[in-house]
Amino acid sequence: MTAEAKPPKISIRGVKKAFGPKVVLDGIDLDVDEGESVVVVGGSGTGKSVLIKCILGILDADSGSIKIDGTEACGASRQTRAELIRKMGMLFQGGALFDSLPVWENVAFGLIEAKGMNRKAARPIALENLHKVGLADRVADLYPAELSGGMQKRVSLARAIATGPEIIFFDEPTTGLDPIMADVINRLIVERVKELGATTLTITHDMGSVRKIADRVAMLHDGKIIWQGPVADIDTTDNPYVQQFVFGQEEGPIRIGGAR
């Protein structure tokens, strides 16, 4: 590496993770450059969420290397981990809003806990973040259970970006939403990410999301990244796995549901 070359924002090498006898990740190699938006696609249960959780440090990879801005995260000290996680934001698959807290406190959580802001100062910033995802002030004092699925996703998005993270992970941001709401969420993600200049890693099954969000696409299958390339290439590649996924065909090399 030359002195002026910047390391990738996220650099993953040979990451393995198994649960008991079940190997989920079997040597993942993936780079995400600064400001880039990479989308990982793959069938259900192939370990896409596990991969993100390993990068975040919620799960410990069994072996391999995960570097954030050149800093090794695998096996890092608690303090290094804490510093790394401050750079990251995450939108969870199911939203994972704190149901014991009103909406605004959910959004303000990172500001209060990670940035040490007091509650009075954090509230207006939380409201501003809610406006940016298209939610009005009156939503702020409701509880997550009182919101529709689409509104919950918006709140989760607002919470993930409230602290202005450098790296944001989106785990199936449009799953379970109607196509119109899915499109709204995709647009909000693109807008917010551009405004923050953040680097993102997104998981999705939704080809609409892929085309809207991605700079580059990687396909996860059988614990490995079997294909990656610019988003424009997904329609022209002759990789049968990608073809099958893009066109949503049952016939092909990928067997769903453990069938062999």
Partner 1 sequence: MRLLQPVGAAFLAFLGAVGRLAMFAGQGVSHAFRPPFYGRLIGKQMVEIGYYSLPVVGMTTLFSGMVLALQSYTGFARFSAEGAVATVVVLSMTRELAPVLAGLMVAGRIGASIAAEIGTMRVTEQIDALTTLSTHPMKYLIAPRLIAGTTMLPVLVLIGDIIGVFGGYLVGVYKLDFNSTIYLERTIEYLETVDVVSGLVKAAVFGFIVALMGCYHGYNSKGGAQGVGRATTNAVVSASILILISNYFITELFFSK
Ligand X SMILES: Nc1ncnc2c1ncn2[C@@H]1O[C@H](COP(=O)(O)OP(=O)(O)O)[C@@H](O)[C@H]1O
Sheet order of strands, 37-41 included: 88-91, 167-171, 199-203, 37-41, 216-221, 224-230
Q: Which among Mg ion, ligand X, partner 1, none contacts residue 44 (Cβ within 5 to 8 A by kind)?
A: ligand X
Binding to ligand X in span 50-69, by CB under 6 A: 50
Using CB under 8 A as the binding rule, whether residue 97 contacts partner 1 is answered as: yes
Q: How far apart are CA 175 and CA 179, in angstroms?
A: 10
Nearer to partner 1, 92 or 227 (CB): 92
Using CB under 8 A as the binding rule, whether residue 94 contacts partner 1 is answered as: yes
Q: Are 30 and 66 in contact (CB under 8 A)?
A: no
Using CB under 8 A as the binding rule, whether residue 159 contacts partner 1 is answered as: yes
Using CB under 5 A as the binding rule, whether residue 49 contacts Mg ion is answered as: yes
Which pair of structure tokens corresponds to residue 259?
A: 């069938």
> Phi/psi class of residue 83: alpha, beta or left (left: φ > 0; alpha: ψ in -120 to 50)?
alpha
Q: How far is the CB of 240 from Mg ion (least distance, A)?
A: 24
Contact residue for ligand X among 9, 48, 123, 221 (CB under 6 A): 48
Q: How far is the CB of 136 from partner 1 (least distance, A)?
A: 24
Q: How far is the CB of 171 from Mg ion (least distance, A)?
A: 6
CA distances, 246 to each of 32, 190, 221, 231, 249 (Å): 22, 21, 14, 11, 8
Q: Which among ligand X, partner 1, Mg ion, none contacts residue 16 (Cβ within 5 to 8 A by kind)?
A: none
Nearer to ligand X, 24 or 218 (CB): 24
Contact residue for partner 1 among 18, 76, 96, 117 (CB under 8 A): 96
Q: Are 8 and 167 in contact (CB under 8 A)?
A: no
Question: Cα 30 to the chain's mean position, in Å?
Answer: 14
Q: Which among ligand X, Mg ion, partner 1, none contacts residue 88 (Cβ within 5 to 8 A by kind)?
A: partner 1
Residue with tokens 């934001």: 89
Pairing of strands 167-171, 88-91: parallel
Positions that interact with Mg ion (CB under 5 A): 49
Residues that bind ligand X (CB under 6 A): 19, 24, 42, 44-50
